[in-house]
Chains A and B, each alone.
Chain A
Amino acid sequence: AQTVTQSQPEMSVQEAETVTLSCTYDTSESDYYLFWYKQPPSRQMILVIRQEAYKQQNATENRFSVNFQKAAKSFSLKISDSQLGDAAMYFCAYRSTGTASKLTFGTGTRLQVTL
């Protein structure tokens, strides 16, 4: 079974600084996608970034980028120039062709942004 592990329950970063959130996953599939979702205090889950497993190039969306290490099954999220609005729960998630409907989530990392 696929599992997603986020080992950092909470992280803190100062405004304008950079923070990296960790995620590891376990799978025997070869074709899959990985996602980072953000859930602000208002609770609506928003897709931040996604990575196709077959792509070697790391995905980037403005201040958000990932470090995808396929062999190590690691998928970390880097937030640059952190802003107060980045404070939220961040969930790493996995989806494969074997279970196309199902997003498997980690337990989340709560990110605090301080002045």
Chain B
Amino acid sequence: ETGVTQTPRHLVMGMTNKKSLKCEQHLGHNAMYWYKQSAKKPLELMFVYNFKEQTENNSVPSRFSPECPNSSHLFLHLHTLQPEDSALYLCASSQGRALTDTQYFGPGTRLTVL
């Protein structure tokens, strides 16, 4: 499955570090998403972008800063994170935001905050 790629696959960072997660989709989709997957909790939608514009911010703390320079790329900039932010961060894309548009997921970045 190479439609949606994410880098890095693993990241360990200290609470004072600044790092970025990258997502790229090769499917020609217009909508992109960031999800957080924590152990024993449902996936949580963080952000939605449609045609590079942010359409949804699900009350995410400002220490997470998304960026979508074009429809194929999505970044999640991280700074001053907390240990409870350790999780698997999944990127997804879909053709649009219609109900019939399937979301395709990347493999995720496993983030550990020390």
How many of chain B's residues have a CB under 8 angstroms from any CB in A? 27
The proximity string for B residues 87-107 relative to A, scoring 1 for CB distances below 8 Å and 0 otherwise, is 010101000011110111111
Nearest-neighbour CB distance to chain B for A101, whole angstroms, equals 5
Interface bin, chain A: 20 to 34
Contact B42 A105, beta carbon cutoff 8 Å: yes
Q: Which residue of B lies closest to A31 (CB)?
A: B99
Q: Which residue of A lies closest to B103 (CB)?
A: A103
Q: Which residue of B lies closest to A4 (CB)?
A: B42
The proximity string for A residues 1-44 relative to B, scoring 1 for CB distances below 8 Å and 0 otherwise, is 00010000000000000000000000000011100010000111
Contact A101 B42, beta carbon cutoff 8 Å: no
With beta carbons under 8 angstroms apart, the residue of B43, B58, B106 that contacts A44 is B106
Binding site for B on A (CB under 8 A): 4, 31-33, 37, 42-47, 50, 91, 95-97, 100-108
Binding site for A on B (CB under 8 A): 1, 31, 33, 40-43, 45, 48, 50, 55-56, 58, 88, 90, 92, 97-100, 102-108
